[in-house]
């Protein structure tokens, strides 16, 4: 969608909203400065988005029923078999549900994203499969990965496998619980603010 160049009246309203005192000449100057940037955006809109090939066949899988998901740690189950050999051959891997896996729903713990299905594999998913790993599902993560607890996901709390009445930490809550419970050999997470360290220490 093309970005429209604001009118001088638009810029005057914005300036007034932010208590900026600007003359008509100032507004014209700023509008002229926007020209090159907006032209770049317009050019981007004309380009065709690149599509990345999906190397390994898969089915969309299914959302597990509560009886098959007692810890609440699985968001989605699937099975994507990687290369026939490699350092991860024979290993099962859960993917934190903020990472794209083509054809497999991704919610990132938030009802806002429910129903979103990526069309590409994230680099880490491709590398796991290239190394012979088998991706067996998406692990629940906290709502938009914004909690150190394990109670904010729209799918419900992730329970600690050692004591289901306690937190498993977050935001990589499902990843940690699935590894600790022995349901997978390994899981990935992301740790920009403690999202692996917190659940690991629980």
**Domain-wise residue ranges, the chain:** 8-46, 66-201
How many angstroms separate the CA atoms of 169 and 194, rounded? 10
- Are the C-beta atoms of 173 and 140 separated by less than 8 Å? yes
pLDDT digits (tens, 9 = 90+) for 55-92: 999 988 999 999 999 999 999 999 999 999 999 999 99
Q: Is 195 a catalytic residue?
A: yes
Q: Is 53 a catalytic residue?
A: no
pLDDT digits (tens, 9 = 90+) for 115-164: 999 999 999 999 999 999 999 999 999 999 999 999 999 999 999 999 99
Q: Is 19 a catalytic residue?
A: no
pTM: 0.77
Which of 150, 153, 168, 195 is an active site residue? 195
pLDDT digits (tens, 9 = 90+) for 4-28: 889 999 999 999 999 999 999 999 9
């Amino acid at each position: 969608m093309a970005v429209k160049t604001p009118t001088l009246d638009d810029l005057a309203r914005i300036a007034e909203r932010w208590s900026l005192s600007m003359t008509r000449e100032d507004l014209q100057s700023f509008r002229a400065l926007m020209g090159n940037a907006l032209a770049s955006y317009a050019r981007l809109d004309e380009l065709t988005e690149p599509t990345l090939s999906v190397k390994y066949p898969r089915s969309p899988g299914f959302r597990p029923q509560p009886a098959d998901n007692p810890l609440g740690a699985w968001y989605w189950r699937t099975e994507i078999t990687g290369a026939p050999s490699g350092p991860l051959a024979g290993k099962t891997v859960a993917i934190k549900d903020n990472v794209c896996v083509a054809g497999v729903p991704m919610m990132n713990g938030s009802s806002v994203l429910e129903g979103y299905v990526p069309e590409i594999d994230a680099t880490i998913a491709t590398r796991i499969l290239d190394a012979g790993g088998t991706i067996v599902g998406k692990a629940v993560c906290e709502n938009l990965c914004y909690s150190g607890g394990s109670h904010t996901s729209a799918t419900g709390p992730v329970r600690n496998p050692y004591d289901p009445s306690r937190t498993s930490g977050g935001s990589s809550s499902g990843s940690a619980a699935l590894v600790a419970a022995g349901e997978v050999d390994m899981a990935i997470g992301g740790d920009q603010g403690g999202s692996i360290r917190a659940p690991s220490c629980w």
